[in-house]
Amino acid sequence: MNLPSRSTLSRASTITLVTFLALGSVIWAFSNILGPILVWLVPTWRPTFYDLGIYGPYAVTKYISTNIEAPALSIPFWNDVCDDGRHILFTPKGSYVAQSGPTIMTPRGELIWMSSEYRNAMNLNIQTYKGDRYLTFWTGDKAATSGQGVYLMLDSSYTLQHTIQPHGATLHADLHEFQITSADTALLTIYDQTTITDGSMTFLNRPVTTGYLTESAFQEINITTGDLLFEWRASEHFSLNDSYYWAPLDGLRPSRPLDWFHINSLKKDSDGNYLVSSRHLHMVCCVSGKNGKVLWTLGGKKNDFRDLSDGRATNFQWQHDARWVDEASGTLTIYDNGDAGPVQTHSGHSRGIMLQLDVKAKTVKLLHEYVSMAATSSASQGSVQVLPDQHGEVGKGDVFVGWGHSAMFSEFTNDGALLCEWHFGPSWLDFPDFVASYRALKMEPWVGRPRTKPLAKVARGSRNLYVSWNGATEVKTWSLQATRYYGGQSGRGDEGEYEEIDVMQKQGFEDIFVLPHDFADYASIRVVALDVEGQLLAFSDTVRETEAGNGWLFGGSLLFTVVLILGFVLGSWIFYVKVVRKEELR
């Protein structure tokens, strides 16, 4: 057997190195130079480049005045009706999301507020408690299929006012659901570990003496006192045989319990009963608020309803987010994942569905369904929300769908026509744990009055002053103010009073003032935030000297790209002359 010579291995290594340098140079150049130029020339190409991952697995918008990195949304499908003044709430997370956390944006992709100080934040919502609106979300430790943590309630200043956790010293709030009821009580889901010894769990067709289960439960509690008002546990009303979840090795040891039920949404109706969704039973049920009995079951192996839509109303699988739209008319929405990963059954693509139930006659029919542009299939998470129409009529407005595992959300007409679609991750890189948001909601505009100050910085090497104020929604105008030295020269004399040298309307999350040429002669500069009536909201700290920014970031990228390209060209030429050409002459 003849082994490759050292020179051959050297040539192979050189070819490999040059190839990697070439690919890296091309990708870098396309992402930072050619791509932006092409998008500037043909703006309609940007969504395609975005979904191909040209901008990376998670594109972000960086700012000068703050170190926040906001998701850079791509909007491949747009209709102006989506820009209705409401705010979009979601919680980007995943292995490629450097700054994960609760996020609020406008429909046009402008950041309003985000925070990365809450680990593993999920399920962001705006809810009302005792007449005041709060931002609510879960934070804690993510387990295999659930979470162990607490729910937080932040007021309009983003100050923590309430921390909600289950009643019971050993229980933790699960990430899937937290609802504040009309009676100002809290509903929350709980995942708890239990054992089973009745032989109903089997392994290789033999009964297991002791099995380990993940118990799905929920509680209703008093927010102020933490007192328990109601508790329900799935194992007391359903059996393992009702589950579709196939995981033959789960349940055999305590470290890997079997999540056979998987509760993932919860809502209390006007009669005091609870609407519960079980992902692993492919079922939505109504639980009595009096005694916990199951009043009826929709879908799954114990379905009580006759499907008037040839099976399309009850064939949902691995679903999330079951919600009453209008109890009087019996309309209900569900996010039908239709998928739960490669080893489970699946139906091809995910969809939002609107159903109409006749509880007395036990019939159900499919009214509308909602499918994304590319008929995405999301193996986990997701949400469906029916917005109020322009007259405030319940159940008649547009429908907003968050695609969970797939990094996107969409808005539809009530009858299912796509209006808008937003992506916050490349659709071609739709892999588990890359980029996702458990739910996405579109809510009436949030009013934020942070206790922080606006941030103002001057980019290095420029006269551009950048200003932002994370979470402040009432800023109408920025006023640029400065003081001069009495002596008239920088560094001499006492400072005078602040005077306004420029003013501008707030345009986006971060706005830019162009400083006058003599700005170095000012003693100090600050930016003042004013509301719609011209009243002072807050002012930034003074910017006395030019501060470091990333104003030269693109230039640095350009220089690095040019060096890589020149290095590749030079290296290729040397390789050809020194190696390939010599071989040809032999």
Please tell me whether residues 480 and 520 are part of one structural domain. yes
User: Taking the alpha carbons of 129, 130, 134, 138 in that order, is the dihedral positive or negative?
Assistant: negative
Please tell me whether residues 433 and 483 are part of one structural domain. no
Please tell me whether residues 417 and 460 are part of one structural domain. no
Count the domains in the chain: 3
Of 399, 418, 443, the position where a domain reaches its end is 443
Please tell me whether residues 471 and 412 are part of one structural domain. no
Burial of 38 (0-12, 13-18, 19+ CB in 10 A): middle
CATH number of the domain where residue 77 is located: 2.120.10.30
Q: Which residue, 220, 219, 211, is CA-closest to 239?
A: 211
Contacts 24+ apart (CB under 8 A), 313-318: 313/353, 313/355, 313/364, 313/365, 313/366, 314/364, 315/347, 316/282, 316/353, 317/244, 317/282, 317/345, 317/346, 317/347, 318/279, 318/280, 318/282, 318/344, 318/346, 318/379, 318/380
Indicate whether 280 belongs to any domain: yes
Indicate whether 49 belongs to any domain: no
Indicate whether 4 belongs to any domain: no
Please tell me whether residues 244 and 299 are part of one structural domain. yes
The answer to whether the pTM exceeds 0.85 is yes
Dig out the tokens for 191 from the structure.
Answer: 């995942």
Indicate whether 499 belongs to any domain: yes
Identity of the amino acid at 12? A
Indicate whether 521 belongs to any domain: yes
Helix (H, G, I), strand (E, B) or coil at 13: helix
Indicate whether 226 belongs to any domain: yes
Indicate whether 23 belongs to any domain: yes
CATH number of the domain where residue 519 is located: 2.60.40
CA gap 7, 582 in Å, rounded? 12
Please tell me whether residues 30 and 72 are part of one structural domain. no
Of 403, 421, 443, the position where a domain reaches its end is 443
Q: Return per-residue pLDDT of the chain as tens, 586 residues.
A: 555 556 655 665 666 666 666 666 666 666 667 767 776 777 788 899 999 998 999 999 999 999 999 999 999 999 999 999 999 999 999 999 999 999 999 999 999 999 999 978 999 999 999 999 999 999 999 887 888 999 999 999 999 999 999 999 899 999 999 999 999 999 999 999 999 888 888 887 788 889 999 999 999 999 999 999 999 999 999 999 999 999 999 999 999 999 999 999 999 999 999 999 999 999 999 999 999 999 999 999 999 999 999 999 999 999 999 999 999 999 999 999 999 987 787 888 999 999 999 999 999 999 999 999 999 999 999 999 999 988 777 788 999 999 999 999 999 999 999 999 999 999 988 888 899 999 999 999 999 999 999 999 998 888 999 999 999 999 999 999 999 876 555 444 456 789 999 999 999 999 999 999 888 888 899 999 999 999 999 999 998 654 444 433 333 344 444 445 555 566 555 555 555 555 555 5
Q: Give the structural domain span for 496.
A: 455-539
Please tell me whether residues 238 and 351 are part of one structural domain. yes
Please tell me whether residues 234 and 317 are part of one structural domain. yes
Angle at 471 between CA 465 and CA 473, to 5 degrees: 90
The DSSP code for 5 is: P
Please tell me whether residues 143 and 207 are part of one structural domain. yes
Please tell me whether residues 383 and 493 are part of one structural domain. no
Please tell me whether residues 278 and 325 are part of one structural domain. yes
Task: Determine the number of helices (DSSP H) and then strands (DSSP E) in the chain.
Answer: 5, 37
CA gap 93, 380 in Å, rounded? 13
Of 422, 443, 464, the position where a domain reaches its end is 443
- In DSSP terms, which residues pair with 354 in a beta bridge? 333, 368
Indicate whether 393 belongs to any domain: yes
Please tell me whether residues 263 and 162 are part of one structural domain. yes
Q: Which helix H or strand E contains 17, and what residues bound it?
A: helix 6-29
Q: What pLDDT digit, counting tens, does each position of 54-69 carry?
A: 899 999 999 999 999 9
The DSSP code for 485 is: B
